[in-house]
Chains A and B, each alone.
Chain A
Amino acid sequence: MEHWIYTTTIFGHTLSFNLDTIFTMWFAMICLIVFALIATRHLSIVPGKLQAFCEKIMEFFSEIMDTMMPVQNRQHIPLVASLFLFILFANLMGQLPLRIIHIKQGELASPTNDINLTAAMAIIVLIYYIGAGIMKKGPKFFLHEFSFIGIVMALVELLEMITRPLSLAIRLFANIFAGEILVSILLGASAYFLPLPIMLFEILVAFIQATVFMMLTVAYISSAAGEEH
């Protein structure tokens, strides 16, 4: 579970990179980009098999946005959809036999077992939903009515800006990490058939965690930029 950490110094600042995470993250990104490029070539009115499949995926996102955020929702689909697809690809990569490629330190598993990656995605979501709220309501996004309840609500929202990305990051990281630890413990017990049901369960977890991350992102955006009730 150790990472291959490469440390360097740029302008007097010490930076360390988790190289195995970077490799696997690029691999997931390349898979996703190549898939998108292949899927969007030769688009036609009468869709082929691949185009129909991709249209189903986009319909899935549209339906979720329609149920969670009824108005002005199409502009948020690019972020939400790419987060979902990237997390799904990254989680499923953990079940590929990439560990047989030996690197200097650590192992090639799913990139979401590194908290730096999930924290980066959670901070992107934080900045995006604050930005969406400011675009929608202007500086009034930060203001509440000047009363006791308004002040308490403002403090609670200030607290939420810390706890929301923290819980998003730790939830995804801990699910994938716990799955890998469980598989490695069962590998130690019996290497042949014992880890198989857990690995199948991890595929389910990959889908569920990608969905949870996406649903929470949509919920945060819709609470920031949606209509007041």
Chain B
Amino acid sequence: MENLNLAQLGAGLAIGFGATGAGLGIGIATKGLMDAISRQPEVAGKAMGFFLLGAALAEACALYAFVIAFMLLGK
């Protein structure tokens, strides 16, 4: 590990922190979905659609970090 490039370190940090936030977000969204379904099982289908939409929006934050990490690796 003598030639540790700082850009690679930055790429690892970027994707790590980004994935942390997105994981927290999707976890909270799943908790909300479970709460909603256990209270009102009849809304399961409709809630699932909104959950997928919100999960995709939360996941996008991790993917911004992924793009940054990829740009850093390309240096």
Contacts and interface: CB of A to CB of B under 8 A. Distances in A.
Q: Do A and B come from one complex?
A: yes
Interface of A: 167, 170-171, 173-175, 177-178, 205, 208-209, 211-212, 215
Contacts of B17: none
A208 B52 contact: yes
B2 to A, nearest CB: 26
Interface residues of B, number: 11
Contacts, number: 37
Interface in B18-63: 52-53, 56-57, 59-60, 63
Given A170-B67, A174-B66, A174-B67, A208 B60 contact: no
Contacts of A174: 60, 63-64, 66-67
A163 B17 CA distance: 21
B53 A215 contact: yes
B30 to A, nearest CB: 15
Contact of A171 (B52, B53, B60, B70): B60
Contact of B66 (A178, A209, A215): A178
Contacts of B56: 175, 205, 208-209, 211-212
17 contacts: A167-B64, A170-B63, A170-B64, A170-B67, A171-B57, A174-B63, A174-B64, A174-B67, A175-B60, A177-B67, A177-B70, A178-B66, A209-B56, A211-B52, A211-B56, A212-B56, A215-B53
